[in-house]
Structure 1
Amino acid sequence: MPMPIRVGFLVGKDTDLVEDPKYDLIGDASFLEDLPDMYRVDSESKEYLKSCPPGTQGFAHADVAIPWYIKKHFEDVEVDIIMPEDITQKRLASNLVNFVIGYDVINAVFEGKKRLDHVMKCFKTCGNIMPSWEVQDFIYIKSRYMQACMDSGVPMAPTVYAFQGKRSPARLLNDIKIRGWKTFVMKQSMMAFSLGFCKLTVEECDKNPKILQDYFKDYPDCPEYVVQEAIEGFTRNWEVRCFWFNGEFLYAIANRAAVSTEDGKEVIVTGDDIPTEFLENAKRIGREALKVLPQLTTPDGQPVPMTLIRTDIGCSDSQIYDKDYNWDPNSKTFFLNEIEYGGTTYFIRHLKADMIPKWAELYVAKSREIQQKMLEGKALGESVEPKSKKAKTAAAVMKKPAGK
């Protein structure tokens, strides 16, 4: 029997429960019965149980459940679950490939510069992180994929960027006024969990310049602020999040913001509960957005279809004021709000079917595909190498000066 493929999974989620009553309605979590407690997370402290007092109860999340399912069901894959503190060049190099499925650079941002520098160095230089650093960085720095999408005709909300070292509160406000906006939102690259998000009006910032000044003082290290005209209809309409693997649609979840619901709670629906108009437009725009992403490659540089990408699509049905836009306020306009990748929330327990086996199959199939491509590439290289060496030697002889 051939040696199993050694595959790493970088974990670190605390928001994507699988050991949960909602999951029990659609799936069977018994495969997690022998999961070591060190991989479970305390719901209160959000820490892994290995860092909690004895007796603390914890639960498994999607990023651990998927590789554990693989470990239990696929003999040709040797699973290496990598905790955040265990990320090193040596550990990553011990695997054929390492999938970012929970913890990533954005998590490291919250742990300080030293930690961030370490994780970034590992991701940039290990050569076998999946998706590749090129893909990750393209998504982390939002202006890269946003501008690429806009240039390709993918609809997006009116947007300006405020880059570190080239920004000031007065300049940003002036840029916003030139565009004609009345209300705007501030977001940040290299950030998550809506931290740094705020909604402001031009009028209030005009009256009180300190509002933007304080924002700039609070977030001086952010590489770029992403500033967009506020879309009034965004919160009252469904935002549809589509999940893609190998460029193919898997499923979607739709949520409506708490501020627009009667009971003040966020609503999440999936499957055929998502209005058809919203789902089909989300899939249409998501497919176009996928086209702007860098080509994913194996560790030896061969192209392969993309791993998990999530496209979040919003809806506008109200007046916007940007001077360059002409969206009809009396009809729905769907637009790309965000792109995320493998470390995102999978929403496993909110679905109508058990997707743990499917995710396991996809990651195993991708691992096999990468191994096969690399073996074929190596075999091709070995068949060509002797000729290359011979030609190089002959060329070297020809270049020798006469008489020597």
Structure 2
Amino acid sequence: MKVGFIVGKDDEIYSDDNLYDITPKKYLQYEELNTDVAIAMTIKQSYPDINVDIILPKDISLQRLKKNDVNFILGYDCINQIVGEPYVKKFTGKTGYNKLRSIYSNKSAKVFPPIEFLDFIWSKDKYLEKFYKKKIPITPTITVSTFNTSKIISSVQKKNWQQFIIKPVGGTVAIGFERFKLSECLKNPLLIQEYFNNNKKDYSKFLIQELITGFRKHGEIKMFWINGEYSYAVNTVDRGEDNYKVKIVKDKKILEECKKFGQNTINALPKIKVGGKVIKPALVRTDFTCCLNNSMHLPQYYFLNEVEHQDAGSYVNNENIKYPYVQVMADTFVKKAHELINAGF
């Protein structure tokens, strides 16, 4: 069995001297081993029956992927292409996006999860709408693809949002994220117009939401579901470049409430079928924050903020997080590859 791993991470260093020493230098980023390559190298060492193909972003091609029985995206998807992390010359701009998406969309590329599932994960407007219908708690959202400033301000006024945010569909980290005050926008509507002028060349849809003040104070509960089962969670608190913390989740009531919402989210995801069999995604991350409608900090006011697939950050490069992510995911991907091939992938 030949299994491909599309890598590209450069911000999730994995400390393992033995694994580092046997990893070919071309797979190190800035002379560091990252978790995506570590997973592939762990499989290479621990599962001699698996022929591992580590694929750098610059080497992605339909011809390369077709040679493998299955290909897992761990470090370079269409969102990475949009934000240019990492920069790949042949995949730059809209032409590059279309080229990469065309490869991942081709059934003979044998990419897992398939493009239909990935499209759902990449389209925050779509999944927020679906999860709202499934009664999963989300913050009220306005989606815009045309940029009529007066209509946008009117919609925000109707919702009585004194402070609000705008962020692009398809953005990641804080790229394209901006905060606004309604009072300032009423005085100077060009503030919003300038935002769209600066961002619409890269994105076609944007989400407008009330500013949730608890986000900065309480951060996010990022919850990892491996093969559909809860595995671990971390609490990230981002208060600026010099004040970013990753902690374990100590409040059991909050953890249990988010697990309940998270399980409902996992159940609501599109089903992946191969040969008539439902195949669970290898990993999904559900991110929750507080507090819905800027309510009190209580477990029941946490809401779903984001969903990511198997290339999501794991945070195990932080000393507070002890979960054996690389080993578990190596085992998971081997089992998933066997499951897919047996189903006729």
Same fold (TM over 0.5): yes
- CA distance in structure 2 between the partners assigned to 1:301 and 1:219 by the alignment: 42
CA-based RMSD of the aligned residues comes to 1.8
* TM alignment of 1:346-357, pairs within 5 A: 346-350=314-318, 351-357=321-327
Alignment-derived partner of residue 197 in structure 1: 177
Q: Does structure 2 retain, via aligned residues, the 8 Å contact 1:92–1:126?
A: no
TM-score normalised by length of structure 2: 0.91
Equivalent of residue 267 in structure 1, options 241, 245, 254: 245
Residue 281 of structure 2 is aligned to residue 311 of structure 1: no
Partner of 2:256: 280
Asked if 1:115 is matched to 2:115, the reply is: no
Deviation (angstroms), 1:330: 7.1
The residue number in structure 1 matching 2:334 is: 364
Alignment CA distance shift 1:265-1:330 (3 Å): closer
Report the 3-state secondary structure (helix = DSSP H, G, I; strand = E; otherwise coil) of the residue aligned with 1:191.
coil
1:64 aligns with 2:37: yes
Q: 1:1-400 residue pairs with structure 2 within 5 A?
A: 5-19=1-15, 28-42=16-30, 58-109=31-82, 110=84, 111-127=92-108, 128-163=110-145, 166-221=146-201, 222-258=203-239, 265-270=243-248, 273-298=249-274, 302-316=277-291, 320=294, 328-329=295-296, 331-332=298-299, 333-350=301-318, 351-374=321-344
* Partner of residue 384, structure 1: none
**How many Å apart are 1:33 and its aligned residue?**
1.1
Q: Distance in 1 between matches of 2:186 and 2:313?
A: 38
SS in 2 for 1:367: helix
**CA deviation digits over 1:140-184, x for unaligned, max 9?**
111111010111000011211012xx3322221111111121111
Q: CA deviation at 1:192?
A: 1.4
- CA shift for structure 1 position 114: 2.0
Supply the distance in 2 between the matched residues of 1:372 and 1:310 (Cα, whole angstroms).
26
Give SS of 1:291's match: helix
- Equivalent position SS for 2:344: helix
Greater alpha carbon shift after TM alignment, 350-359 vs 73-82: 350-359
Equivalent residues of 1:246, 1:305 under 8 A apart? yes
Q: Distance between the aligned counterparts of 2:219 and 2:252, measured in 1?
A: 11
- SS of match in other structure, 2:150: helix
Question: How many Å separate the matches in 2 of 1:59 and 1:102?
Answer: 15
Distance 1:254 1:277 in 2: 14
Secondary structure, aligned partner of 1:348: coil
Q: Which amino acid aligns with 2:75?
A: G
Contact in 2 for aligned 1:295/1:306 (Cα 8 Å): no
Structure 1 residues 330 and 196, CA gap change in structure 2 (3 angstroms)? closer
Structure 1 residue 101: deviation in Å?
0.8
CA shift for structure 1 position 264: 5.2
Matched residue, 1:54? none
Aligned residues of 2:246 and 2:315 also touching (Cα < 8 A) = no
CA–CA distance in structure 2, aligned partners of residues 230 and 12 of structure 1? 32
Pair 264,34 (structure 1): closer, same or farther in 2 beyond 3 Å: closer
Q: TM-score, normalised by structure 1?
A: 0.78
Which residues of structure 1 form unaligned runs of 5+? 20-27, 43-57, 321-327, 376-404
Determine the C-alpha separation between the residues in 1 that align with 2:273 and 2:69.
13
Cα distance in 1 for partners of 2:297, 2:71 equals 47
Q: CA shift at 1:34, angstroms?
A: 1.2
SS of structure 2 residue aligned to 1:177: helix
Post-superposition CA distance 1:194-238 (Å, at most 9, x none): 110011111111111111010111112412101111111121114
AA matched with 1:239? E
- Sort the Cα spacing of 1:121 and 1:94 in 2 relative to 1 into closer, same or farther, 3 A: same
- How far 1:29 moved relative to its partner? 3.8
Please report how far the alpha carbon of residue 269 of structure 1 lies from its aligned counterpart in structure 2 after TM superposition.
Answer: 1.0
Count of equivalent residues: 332
Whichever residue aligns with residue 111 of structure 2, its letter is I
Larger gyration radius, structure 1 or structure 2: 1
Q: Which amino acid aligns with 2:147?
A: R
The aligned amino acid for 1:268 is V
Quickly say closer, same or farther: Cα 1:118–1:226, change in 2 above 3 A: same
Unaligned runs of 5+ in 2: 85-91
Once residues 311 and 12 of structure 1 are traced to their aligned partners in structure 2, the CA distance between those partners, rounded to angstroms, is 22
CA–CA distance in structure 1, aligned partners of residues 297 and 284 of structure 2:
32
For 1:73 and 1:357, the matched residues in 2 are separated by 10
Provide the C-alpha distance between the structure 1 equivalents of 2:225 and 2:215, rounded to a whole number of angstroms: 23
Identity of aligned residues (%): 29
Is residue 185–residue 229 contact of structure 1 (8 Å, CA) maintained in 2?
Answer: yes
Question: Which stretch shifts more, 277-286 or 239-248?
Answer: 277-286
**Residue-by-residue CA offset, 1:313-352 (whole Å, 9 max, x unaligned):** 10117x64xxxxxxx5474511001001112111122221
Cα distance change of structure 1 residues 12 and 330 upon mapping to structure 2, 3 Å threshold: closer
